[in-house]
Amino acid sequence: MHPSRLLRVSVTLVLASASVTVTTSPAVAAEFGSFGTTPRLLGTSIVYVEEHVGERFDSALRSSIAFVDRYTGSDMRLGRCRTGYRCIRVVQSNATNGHGAWTSWTYGRKNSEIRLSATLARKNWYTRRSIIDHELGHANGARHNSRCTSRMWPDYRCRNKRLPARTFTTAERSALARW
Ligand SMILES: [Zn+2]
């Protein structure tokens, strides 16, 4: 989750012979603009989720993986990253630009990294899971929702203080299904 309403995403584009790092501006509208039609690169639905987080996050992460898999059609598996498969590394880190969590990825989301902060670790289990759902959504192509009608709402809680509904919108499902 990015508790502020803005998100900066570091995107590393790995080209054939050049590596270009692009940092988008903190404008949500532009956040995923160039990625919406990126094709599935690897031809397999298996995605390895390499977990480097403690017990505090573990069961929420497992729940989030099962939840997001339903919409992506992916088969996320906990385990070490392997050549030829997409990989999502989940680490504990406070390098989250002031947010509770942070997600970045390489071209085509072949490799993503989700950072979960100490601040997030202090939240309750349902909040942790909500944020991990959100970040896994980003790692699989979902952008922010300007209304609090799905997990892609960019704040811990809706304005009514409740957690965002544990679902994805039609548009988000469409984006997730492309990954
Ligand atoms: Zn976000």
- Block means of pLDDT (10 residues each) for the chain, 179 residues, are 44 34 33 44 84 91 96 93 94 94 88 95 96 96 96 96 97 90
Ligand 1 centroid to Cα of residue 166, in Å, is 15
Ligand 1 centroid to Cα of residue 17, in Å, is 31
**Which CATH code is given to the segment(s) 10-177?**
3.40.390.10
Reduce the DSSP state of residue 2 to 3 states and report it: coil
Give DSSP secondary structure letters for 54-90.
-HHHHHHHHHHHHHHHHHH--EEEES---TTSEEEEE
With residue 133 as reference, give the H or E element that holds it.
helix 125-139
Ligand 1 centroid to Cα of residue 80, in Å, is 25
Ranges of each domain in the chain: 10-177
Question: Which pLDDT belongs to residue 27?
Answer: 31
